[in-house]
Structures are given as structure tokens and as C-alpha cells.
Structure 1
Amino acid sequence: MQQRKLGKTGAHISEIGFGAWAIGGAWGDVSSDDAKGALHAALDAGMTFIDTADVYGDGRSERFIAEVFKERGGEKPFVASKLGRRLAPHVAQGYNAENLNAFVERSLVNLDTDCLDLVQLHCPPPEVYYQPEVFDIMDRMVTAGKIRHYGVSVEKVEEALKAIEYPNVATIQIIYNVFRQRPDSLFFAEAQKRDIGVIVRVPLASGMLSGKMHAGSTFAADDHRAFNRNGEAFDKGETFSGVPYDVALEAVEEIRRLVPGDITMAQFALRWILMEDAVSTVIPGARNAQQAAANAAASSFPALNSETMTELRKIYQHRIAPFVHQRW
């Protein structure tokens, strides 16, 4: 597993990390055995970065991580959690010292630790980016020793660019994949200038870029791919990267012809992301040990050639960009 630097945190982490949303909830049923098996497999394969959130299964994801660390012993991987989405309603006024400190204290308990490696504001309302007092609260938590670093998980490129104006924001988590290429036009260059760690989420467009879905695919009622197609529960861009299902399926068939025979389409999609030097780590989810091991293997494949990169850009520009480029 190749390592990359996580921006100004100074940490060196695996370029493929473990996205722990699926083992928490909103991806259909994942048993405790499968959830912990996926984590063990990820760590066995050399992943040293885990991303979670306090709302993933109402803390279920964080608690699984703590249990697996206790079972394994030894040095713990770098863990990033997120906060803010426990607010109901999820409004900017809720991002105050009382609430944010309470959220951190809850994650400290769930993760069974006395200091969190990285805490990210979890796709906060747009107004939060214009409230320096929120970032001052995070600074005080660093000073108090509750968290080591903080960052922001964003929906839009514009939000990312605003967030990194705050000097102590260490990381940005953003959607970037073959279907969401806008971050590479400006944000990545700015992130590198400011030594910002870039964490890439939704790398497989909610599984669409695995190439395993079809027009008749069905999803469990508690799977966001069933209940959030049009943004009913949270931002539409989190589900299939915001691309209409039928459009995505057609684009996948074009992409499929570019995939070499010795690599799965999912691994190909992950390898495409790793072609970008500004990316610190990419965090695909996994529902079981087999998926986690397959994700990790993408780190070992050779770079994609220039012809393939050009063709993927064309597919994006012609088929996908009209639906997503200016929205996120």
C-alpha cells in the first residue's frame, strides 16, 4: 500500500483508506460480523486511514472501529470523524460551542480515545463558511487537547475554496470521481499551495462505477440509493454523484471498454483518482472483507496511460458534465 502525506497534519497515511459509512448504516443491512470483518481486512491490507462520522448508524460505525482496534491491539491507524449532522434541524445556528463540544465528547466515548486525530465539519450549511467564530471553536478544542486537527467535508468546490481560507483548516473532504471532475480545475491547485490534505469520498459514485448495476437493480428501503435519488434526505450529489441513473448507466458502458482485463471496474475507478497528486487518500466503503481487500489492491496497479485519461475526460464532458459540473 502506497503512502501519502495528509497535508499540514504531517501524517503519512495509506492512499486508499476505509470509508466507514456503509458499516454504520444507510447502505442496507450490514451484519456486525461483516462490518468488523471489513475493517480487519482493510487493516490487514495496509490501510492506515479510516473515515467515519457520529451519525453513521448513530455511532455504530465509530463503535465498531473502537472494538476492532481493541481486538487487534498495537498502533492505531489514523481516524477521522465528522460532526454537525446530529443537529435537528441542521442549521448554522447549531454550530455553537455547546453543541460542537458535546458532539466531540460523544465521539471520544464511541471511539474509546482521549483525543480525536481529525474532526471534520460534516457538510455544514453554507452560512457556516462565513462565520469565523465556528472555526475559533475548533481552534479551542485543539488547544484543549480534545482534537489534534480539524477540517471540513464539503458538498461544493466553492465551499472548499472558502474553507481553506481559514489558516488552521488542515483537510478538505470532497467528492471526486470519473463522474465529478470539477475539483481538478482549480481546487486541487489551491489545496496544494496551502498544504491541505484532500480526502476523496464517493469514489465509486455510490457503486455505479463498479459496473455492477443495471436498469433493474433494486436497493433496500434503508439504502440511500433508494431513498435519496432526488435529494430527499440529504444532498442529491451524495447518491450516484448526482447523475441521473439512466445517464450514469450509459456512461458506465462507455467506460467499461477502457478497463484492462486484469483489473475490476471499481479498481480502475479508484486508480483514476490516484492519478491526481493533490489527493491524499481516497475512501471507498466496504460492506465485507472481500470488498475491503479488493479496494486496497487498487493501490498496486500501474498508472493509467494518457490515452485512457483523455477518453475518460471526453466521456465526462460529453455525457456527465451537463448534469453536475456547475451544480457542485
Structure 2
Amino acid sequence: MNYRFLGRTGFRVSEISFGTVELGLDYGVPVAGEHLRPPTEEASRLLNRALDLGVNFIDTARVYGASEEIIGQALRTRRDEYVLCTKVAAPPAGKSVAEHVRSSIAESLCLLQTDHVDVLKIHSASVEDIRRGEMIAAMLKAQQAGHVRFVGASTYGEEAPILALEDGRYDCLQIAYSAIDRRPEQRILPLAQQRGVGIIVRSVLLRGVLTHRHTLLPPQLAELKAAIVGLNGLVGGETESLPELAYRYVLAHPAVSTALVGTARSGELDAAVDFGSRLPLSAELISHIRRIVVRDEDQLHPGKWPSDIEDWRPADRKAGDAGAC
């Protein structure tokens, strides 16, 4: 496994990190049960296997169902072996931001069976969240109290991450970035590199369609499907699969600290770890990838996909069972 610095935090993190939403919730393309979360024992084995393979950045969130509790149980004796990142969502209307952040952190620490998290991020930070600054202010108080070491935000689009980078208080950002959605290369990644802000990449496989599952895309996403077919045509020689091409492409950018693999299957974890140990893609292949463009940007946004393939959010997705905490 190769390692990089998470921006100015000083943490050396594995190029491949483990996103745990699929351990706590049914998630992903609903095909033949592939989206169903695994039994707790299997999830525990997978977490420990990730650490054994050299993965040392674990990402979770309060709203990832039972994920935090599973991590706390599975890795309670290995806390010093990994960088732990969780998230706090914006409070419901009318609730004190400071109290919401405080209680969310307390519950996360209880479920995770730890006295601190290494990175705390605002979950799905909106432009308004960044501008108002109440969430980050409350998180910095938790940092002063020793419950949080570094702070960041998980963002969408371009405006929110740019505002966070210009704010100066965010140590890292989580963004969507892939071989097919390269928009962050224009402004976000260069500015993050300039400011020393760590970049955690999610959606490397664009909700799973940068795999064999791209064949499931409906006619409404014909341009996206054609572009992915084009990327698949570049597989061979330097890469052996579309997921490998996808991971190695995002890791080729020097601003990227780590790329999340979100999976509940050991084979996919093993493959991603293998991708993170290979040499960078050639400039020639990167150039070929960048010639493939999706002009309809809505097709790059899973939230705007037709409901018959994007029904990935269970009606009961909430904060999850808080267990004894």
C-alpha cells in the first residue's frame, strides 16, 4: 500500500481508504441482493481485513445506520492503527447548532468506543452551512476539548468546497471525483493543493456504474453510458478492468490524499487495495481519458438520475439504532 499526507494534518493515510456506509445500510444498485448490508460478523471481518491489508483511514457517519457501532465493536482493540473519520449532519430546523453538534459527537464517540475522532466532517455541507459558519465553530470547540483532532466537510458541487477552501479553517474536504466526472480538476483540486487541504475522494465508481453495472443505465442516461463504454475501451495494457482505471485515474492527481472504496465484499476491497499499490497511469492514458466528456452535467449527478435506477435511499434511512448510547 502507498501512503500520502492528508493535507496539513500530518496524518499519513493509505491511498485507498474504507468507506463504511455499506456496512451499516442497504446501499447501491439493487441488483440480485448486491446492495444488502452484510451480517455484523462479516462486516467485522472485513474491517479487520482492511487494516491487515494496510488501509489506515476509516470513514463513517452518524447517518450510516449501524456503521459506527459496528466499527466500535470490531476495531476496539486496534484504535491506534487507523485514522478515524466520522461526520455530523446539519441540525433539524429550530435546534441549536452547538447543542446538536455536541450531542452528535457524544453519541458517535460512544458508539465508536473511543474518546476522540481524528477527523470530524460536516455531512453534506451546503453553501449556507459554510457561509454561516456555525457548524465549523461548534466543531472547533470540540477540537479544543480534545474530542476531535481535525475538522473538514463533505461537500457537493463546486461552490461549497470552494467556499470552505477560502474559509481557511477546514483541514480536509471529501468530494466526488472520478474518471468520468473530472470537474474538480478545474478549481477545487488546484486550490486545495495550494492551501494544504487534504482531499478525500468519494464516488470513484460513480455509485457503481464505472463497473460492469454501467450496462444497467437506462436510455435517459445514454450520453453517460456511451462515455463509460468509451472508458471501458481504454482498458487493457496498463489496466485490467474499468474499476482499476477509475481508481488509478483519481490517484494520479497530486492533490488527492486518499480514495474511498465503499464495499461490503472482500473481493472488491482486495482489488481496490491492489490498485493503490500500482504505479501511476501514464500521461498518454490520462490524456485519452480526458478526451471522453459528458456534456450533460445532470447525468453526472446521481441525485438527478431516473428514480427507477436511483432508488438507493431506503425510506427508513435515519440516524440508525443508537444501541446503548
Name the TM-score, length of structure 2 as normaliser.
0.83
Q: Residue in 1 aligned with 2:192? A: 191
Gaps of 5+ in 1: 218-242
Matched, 1:247 2:223: yes
Report the Cα offset of residue 41 of structure 1.
2.3
Aligned partner letter, 2:252: M
Matched, 1:16 2:7: no
Report the Cα offset of residue 323 of structure 1.
4.3
Change (3 A) 1:322 1:150: closer
Post-superposition Cα deviations, 1:76-98, rounded to whole Å, max 9, x if no partner, equal: 3001101116x4x4x5x657101
Question: Could you tell me how far apart the structure 2 residues matched to 1:311 and 1:216 are?
Answer: 23
Post-superposition Cα deviations, 1:279-312, rounded to whole Å, max 9, x if no partner, equal: 0000011112111111111012222222221221
Question: Could you tell me how far apart the structure 1 residues matched to 2:41 and 2:225 are?
Answer: 32
Q: Residue in 2 aligned with 1:227? A: none
Provide the secondary structure at the position in 1 that maps to 2:84: strand
Report the Cα offset of residue 17 of structure 1.
0.4
Matched, 1:42 2:19: no
Pairwise CA RMSD of aligned residues?
2.4
Question: Could you tell me how far apart the structure 1 residues matched to 2:47 and 2:298 are?
Answer: 37
Change (3 A) 1:272 1:47: same
Matches within 5 A, 1:68-217: 68-70=74-76, 73=78, 75-84=80-89, 87=91, 89=92, 94=95, 96-215=97-216
Report the Cα offset of residue 249 of structure 1.
2.5
- Contact 1:123 1:153 (C-alpha < 8 Å) held by counterparts: yes
Q: Residue in 2 aligned with 1:229? A: none
Matches within 5 A, 1:166-315: 166-215=167-216, 245-260=221-236, 263-315=240-292
Provide the secondary structure at the position in 1 that maps to 2:174: strand
- Give the paired residue count: 294
Aligned partner letter, 1:30: R
Change (3 A) 1:299 1:103: same
Change (3 A) 1:216 1:97: closer
Provide the secondary structure at the position in 1 that maps to 2:162: helix
Report the Cα offset of residue 319 of structure 1.
5.3
Question: Could you tell me how far apart the structure 1 residues matched to 2:56 and 2:232 are?
Answer: 30
Aligned partner letter, 1:80: C
Aligned partner letter, 1:77: Y
Post-superposition Cα deviations, 1:193-224, rounded to whole Å, max 9, x if no partner, equal: 1110000011101111123442389xxxxxxx
Question: Could you tell me how far apart the structure 1 residues matched to 2:254 and 2:194 are?
Answer: 12
Q: Residue in 2 aligned with 1:4? A: 4
Matched, 1:61 2:93: no
Aligned partner letter, 2:223: V
Name the stretch that deviates more: 157-166 or 147-156: 157-166
Sequence identity (%): 29
- Contact 1:39 1:292 (C-alpha < 8 Å) held by counterparts: no
Change (3 A) 1:213 1:324: closer
Aligned partner letter, 2:9: T
- Contact 2:123 2:154 (C-alpha < 8 Å) held by counterparts: yes
Post-superposition Cα deviations, 1:141-168, rounded to whole Å, max 9, x if no partner, equal: 1111111111010011211010122332
Provide the secondary structure at the position in 2 that maps to 1:145: coil
Name the TM-score, length of structure 1 as normaliser.
0.83
Change (3 A) 1:323 1:291: closer
- Contact 2:180 2:227 (C-alpha < 8 Å) held by counterparts: no
Q: Residue in 2 aligned with 1:51? A: 59
Question: Could you tell me how far apart the structure 2 residues matched to 1:38 and 1:145 are?
Answer: 29
Q: Residue in 1 aligned with 2:30? A: none
Gaps of 5+ in 2: 28-34, 305-325
Provide the secondary structure at the position in 2 that maps to 1:287: coil
